[in-house]
Chain A
Amino acid sequence: MVQPVSFKLNGKPVRVTVDDERMLLWVLRFDLGLTGTKFGCGEGICGACTVIVDDKAVRSCSTRVKDVAGKRVLTIEGLEQDGKLHALQRAFLERHAFQCGYCTPGMILAAYALMLANPHPTREQVVKALDDNLCRCGSHTRVLEAVEVAAAATRGRVR
Chain B
Amino acid sequence: MNGDGHLSRREFLALAGASGLFVLFDLERLLAQEPARLPGRPGYPADFNAYLRIAENGRTTCFVGKVELGQGSMTSLAQLLAEELDVPLDSVEMVMGDTDLCPWDMGTFGSLSIRQFGPVLRAAAAEARAVLLQLGAEHLQIPPDRLQAKDGVISKVGDPAVCVTYGQLVQGKRIERHIEKIPVKTPREFTVVGRPAARKDALDKVTGRARYAGDIALPGTLHARIVRPPVHGATLKDVDSSAVANVPGATVIRDGDLIAVLHERPDLADRALALVKARFDRPAQELDEASIFDHLVKNAPPAQMLGANGNLEEGEKSAAAVFDHTYLNSYVAHAPMETHSALARIENGKATVWASTQTPFGIKTQVAQALGFPPEKVRINTPYVGGGFGGKSASRQAIEAARLAKITGKPVQVVWDRAEEFFYDTFRPAAVVKIRSGLTSAGKIAFWDFKVICAGEREAIPFYDIPNQRTASAGGWQGDQPPGLHPFAVGPWRAPSVNTSTFARESQIDIMAARAKADPLEFRLNHLSDPRMVRVLKAAAEAFGWTPKAAPSGRGFGVACATYIGTYVATLAEVTVDRATGRVRVGRVACAQDMGLVVNPDGSRQQTEGAITMGLGYALTEEVRFRGGEVLTRNFDNYEIPRFSWLPAIKTVLIDNPETPASGCGEPPIVCMGAVIANALHDATGVRLFQLPMTPDRLKSALAG
Contact = CB atoms under 8 A, between A and B. Distances in A.
Given A26-B266, A100-B69, A140-B644, A35 B206 contact: no
A69 interface: no
Contacts of A15: none
Interface in A87-103: 89-90, 92-93, 96, 98-103
B650 interface: yes
A76 B208 contact: yes
B699 interface: no
A132 interface: yes
Interface string A8-39: 00000000000100110110011101111111
Contact of A85 (B199, B206, B384, B643): B206
Interface in B263-322: 264-268
A141 interface: yes
B606 to A, nearest CB: 6
B105 to A, nearest CB: 19
Nearest to B652: A141
Nearest to B216: A35
B636 interface: yes
A130 interface: yes
Contacts of A42: 417-418, 635
Nearest to B386: A102
Interface string B197-226: 001011111111111101101000001000
B554 interface: no
B206 to A, nearest CB: 4
Contacts of B215: 29, 35
Interface residues of B, number: 57
Interface in A24-75: 25-26, 29-31, 33-43, 45-46, 48, 75
Q: How large is the interface on A (under 10, 10 to 19, 20 to 34, 35 or more residues)?
A: 35 or more
Interface string B321-352: 00000000000000111110000000000000
Contacts of B211: 35
B612 interface: yes
Given A99-B70, A137-B614, A138-B611, A144 B647 contact: yes
Contact of A26 (B203, B265, B335, B641): B265
B674 interface: no
A31 B265 contact: yes
Contact of A99 (B72, B212, B645): B72
B385 interface: yes
Contacts of B642: 138, 140
Given A41-B636, A48-B337, A136-B335, A102 B418 contact: no
Nearest to B388: A100
A138 B384 contact: no
Interface string B435-462: 0000000000000000000000000000
Contacts of A104: 205-206
A90 B264 CA distance: 36
A142 B194 CA distance: 21
Interface of A: 19, 22-23, 25-26, 29-31, 33-43, 45-46, 48, 75-77, 79-80, 85, 89-90, 92-93, 96, 98-105, 108, 126-128, 130-144
Pairs A-B, 5 closest by C-beta atoms:
A36-B208, A100-B70, A138-B613, A102-B386, A101-B205
Given A93-B202, A98-B205, 4 more contacts: A85-B206, A100-B338, A128-B645, A143-B644
12 contacts: A23-B267, A30-B217, A36-B207, A39-B339, A41-B636, A79-B207, A93-B206, A98-B70, A99-B71, A131-B644, A139-B613, A141-B650
